[in-house]
């Protein structure tokens, strides 16, 4: 199971963090200051140069905040990406999930990733990126509805865990009911450690399989909310807080780690040069209000948000450094600045287009942020072209570089025997169409 830490006393945790930090920076020093290939090879793995394994395609979506406009950039970028993929391939039914081998998402990013990778009744991805964008747009402002949740605001989903909203979106689907590997982090308060929901683990055991409704509630729990959930067989219990904070707020590193260590599904991935990573950040930055004397006044939520954004930038900088010369082709980060005005439902689509039209914000290690020469839209279009090239390469290559675990026989646990049959059929029978949700009041 992908649990990144174990229960320990505060002094022990501090010592462990110090040791981990030392090891990470030692690795970076060896890799980038002295040119050692620490990240470029894994003993016992065939060389890419001989086998032409291609690139493992990873999608990472940051844990956006408790405002719908924070998720707007990610949803709009994915919708544009899907449009470009359809145009370049000539396939009007192409979906984002068709062109990625792994999705990692935290907070609102986890909800978007789960939507796009959810398997539908025909075995294809259930939702298009345009439908995911509609989900976000319908949640903006003060009078909107969240796909059938009359009084819901995006922030309310995060405060309450959004069980009813997520139930409408995912039905009874579980981690197994996705078309490709999915990683969604949260924090387990029982162990005081990060916990990553993983499809790879769910396929292996019912003890690691969770309903997607619970997974999304766990990664979105914020503002003091705690999501208590159990695996489908009831053997694993989690007391979850939001995965959209601290290091897990940017799941790009978790996605890379999963690919490089999961040799069953990604046997030819030997280093970051074998990965094509699209990482999408939040669409806005925190604005600190001023008090009566025009002195900035930061609330606890402001400080938590600023901390999360800072750590997400640090992860971005470190990942960009790991990719080195391949950064910009193998690693692409979509990041915008602040929205110029508050976003309401009537202006959400225009606001999304404006953020895509902004010059891309790049993080530079130890140097803060800088504006790229390209816009976010231009970067999305470039990624689409690379994804199509990789798709064409795989069609010509006799050697598959990805072997996704398939769900075998139906679950035999007491928690699931009552719903026998394929996971796809079970998913299809419990999910209404997006059109029916939008029409509800």
Domain region containing 193? 56-140+157-286+300-396
Structure tokens at 262: 């999961």
Tell me, yes or no, whether 386 lies in a domain. Answer: yes
Tell me, yes or no, whether 175 lies in a domain. Answer: yes
Q: In sequence order, what are the beta bridge partners of 252? A: none
Tell me, yes or no, whether 176 lies in a domain. Answer: yes
Tell me, yes or no, whether 7 lies in a domain. Answer: no
Note the Cα 107 to chain centre separation in Å. 8
Domain harbouring 188, CATH code? 3.40.1090.10
Tell me, yes or no, whether 311 lies in a domain. Answer: yes
Tell me, yes or no, whether 13 lies in a domain. Answer: no
Neighbour tally for 424: CB within 10 Å: 18
The answer for residues whose C-beta is within 8 angstroms of residue 408's C-beta and 6 or more apart is: none
Structure tokens at 391: 């798709």
Tell me, yes or no, whether 31 lies in a domain. Answer: no
Top-confidence residue, 164 or 293: 164
pLDDT tens per residue across span 165-204? 888 889 999 999 999 999 999 888 888 888 899 999 999 9
Q: Is the pLDDT confidence value at 416 over 70?
A: no
Q: Give the confidence band of 211 by pLDDT, cuts at 50, 70, 90.
A: very high
Top-confidence residue, 432 or 131: 131
pLDDT tens per residue across span 274-295? 999 999 987 554 454 555 555 5
- CA 48, 51, 54, 57 dihedral sign is negative
Identify how many contiguous H helices and E strands the chain contains and give both numbers: 15, 12
Domain count, the chain: 1
Q: Is the pLDDT confidence value at 269 over 70?
A: yes
Neighbour tally for 310: CB within 10 Å: 12
Q: Give the confidence band of 328 by pLDDT, cuts at 50, 70, 90.
A: confident
Q: Give the confidence band of 418 by pLDDT, cuts at 50, 70, 90.
A: very low
Helix axes 108-117, 68-89, angle to 10 degrees: 30
């Amino acid at each position: 199971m992908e649990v990144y830490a174990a229960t320990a006393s505060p002094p022990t945790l501090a010592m462990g963090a110090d040791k981990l930090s030392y090891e990470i920076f030692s690795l970076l020093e060896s890799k980038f200051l002295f040119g050692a290939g620490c990240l470029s090879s894994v003993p016992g793995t065939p060389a890419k140069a001989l086998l032409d394994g291609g690139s493992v395609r990873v999608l990472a979506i940051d844990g956006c905040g408790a405002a719908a406009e924070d998720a707007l950039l990610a949803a709009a970028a994915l919708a544009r990406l899907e449009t470009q993929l359809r145009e370049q391939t000539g396939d009007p039914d192409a979906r984002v999930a068709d062109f990625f081998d792994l999705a990692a998402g935290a907070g609102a990013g986890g909800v978007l990733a789960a939507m796009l990778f959810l398997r539908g009744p025909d075995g294809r991805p259930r939702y298009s990126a345009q439908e995911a964008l509609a989900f976000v747009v319908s949640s903006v402002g003060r009078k909107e509805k969240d796909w059938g949740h009359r009084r819901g605001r995006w922030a309310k989903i995060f405060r309450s865990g959004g069980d009813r909203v997520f139930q409408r979106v995912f039905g009874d689907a579980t981690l197994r009911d996705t078309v490709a590997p999915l990683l969604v982090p949260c924090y387990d308060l029982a162990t005081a450690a990060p916990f990553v929901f993983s499809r790879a683990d769910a396929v292996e055991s019912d003890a690691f399989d969770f309903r997607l409704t619970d997974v999304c509630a766990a990664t979105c729990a914020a503002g003091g909310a705690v999501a208590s959930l159990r695996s489908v067989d009831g053997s694993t219990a989690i007391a979850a807080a939001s995965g959209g904070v601290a290091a897990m707020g940017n799941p790009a590193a978790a996605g890379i780690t999963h690919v490089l260590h999961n040799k069953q599904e990604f046997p030819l991935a030997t280093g970051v040069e074998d990965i094509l990573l699209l990482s999408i950040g939040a669409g806005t930055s925190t604005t600190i209000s001023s008090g009566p004397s025009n002195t900035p006044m930061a609330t606890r939520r402001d400080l938590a948000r600023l901390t999360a954004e800072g750590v997400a930038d640090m992860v971005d900088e470190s990942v960009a450094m790991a990719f080195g010369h391949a950064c910009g082709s193998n690693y692409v980060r979509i990041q915008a600045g602040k929205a110029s005005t508050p976003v309401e439902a009537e202006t959400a689509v225009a606001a999304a287009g404006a953020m895509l039209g902004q010059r891309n914000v790049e993080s530079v290690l130890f140097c803060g942020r800088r504006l790229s020469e390209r816009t976010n839209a231009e970067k999305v279009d470039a990624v689409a072209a690379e994804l199509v090239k990789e798709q064409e390469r795989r069609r010509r290559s006799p050697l598959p570089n990805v072997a996704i675990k398939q769900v075998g026989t139906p679950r035999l646990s007491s928690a699931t025997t009552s719903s026998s049959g394929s996971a796809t059929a079970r998913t299809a029978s419990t999910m209404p169409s997006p059109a029916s949700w939008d029409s509800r009041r």
